[in-house]
Chains A and B, each alone.
Chain A
Amino acid sequence: KAGVTQTPRYLIKTRGQQVTLSCSPISGHRSVSWYQQTPGQGLQFLFEYFSETQRNKGNFPGRFSGRQFSNSRSEMNVSTLELGDSALYLCASSLQGAGNTIYFGEGSWLTVV
């Protein structure tokens, strides 16, 4: 069974631009969540979607947004990029429920210059 797939794997953007990252969850998983990983802040929860609805949200500015489609695929968007947005963005999927295992993709490496 295929794992969580994220595209693109690597990208470079300029300050002020916007970026869209894509995630395909494991088949049958309807919960998709996003995390940001940086050396300074570690792993931080961005948001979670379930059945096309945002169910949880972390403490990030409104420049960070996401959505989920009817096939459970998800995208996240960052507008007006800042240098500090350079990070590894990880997508994860799971079955519904707090105790279920959350499976991660390999991430999208974003560099803002």
Chain B
Amino acid sequence: GNSVTQMEGPVTLSEEAFLTINCTYTATGYPSLFWYVQYPGEGLQLLLKATKADDKGSNKGFEATYRKETTSFHLEKGSVQVSDSAVYFCALSRANQAGTALIFGKGTTLSVSS
């Protein structure tokens, strides 16, 4: 079946450090891939997405590339800020259907200190 696996957290970094959060997926067909971010007490915000192989999604300094050969969609940022502290979720939308159900990873908590 379809599934998403994220690296376990928490991830603790100092400001301006490099961030990588690993995400791999299992899916039939060609899913779309997403990163969502959740700040404390809030809902989910879309961070970036990619809809086909080799696409690179980017937003607010974050990037992720859809790698079909390794079934991965790792999130990276060159220099994190304290304001990036949040929970990050990798997700895929089930392929080959008209619906829009998302399958999420378990989330990775990022804590950035100054």
Residues of A within 8 A of B (CB): 4, 31, 33, 35, 42-45, 48, 50, 55-56, 58, 90, 92, 94, 96-107
Contact = CB atoms under 8 A, between A and B. Distances in A.
Contacts of A92: 44, 102
Contacts of A4: 43
Interface in B2-51: 31-32, 34, 36, 42-46, 49, 51
Interface of B: 31-32, 34, 36, 42-46, 49, 51, 89, 91, 93-107
Q: Is the interface of A mostly helix, strand, loop or mixed?
A: strand
B94 A98 contact: yes
A4 B45 CA distance: 11
A18 B51 CA distance: 39
Given A106-B42, A106-B43, A48 B100 contact: yes
A97 B51 CA distance: 11
A107 B101 contact: no
B100 A97 contact: yes
A106 B49 CA distance: 20
B93 A99 contact: yes
Contact of A98 (B36, B45, B93, B106): B93
Nearest to B96: A98
Contact of A33 (B42, B97, B101): B101
Contacts of B96: 98
A102 B102 contact: yes
Contacts of A43: 44, 89, 91, 102, 104, 107
A104 B101 contact: no
Contacts of B45: 104
Contacts of B32: 98-99
Contact of B44 (A55, A58, A96, A104): A104
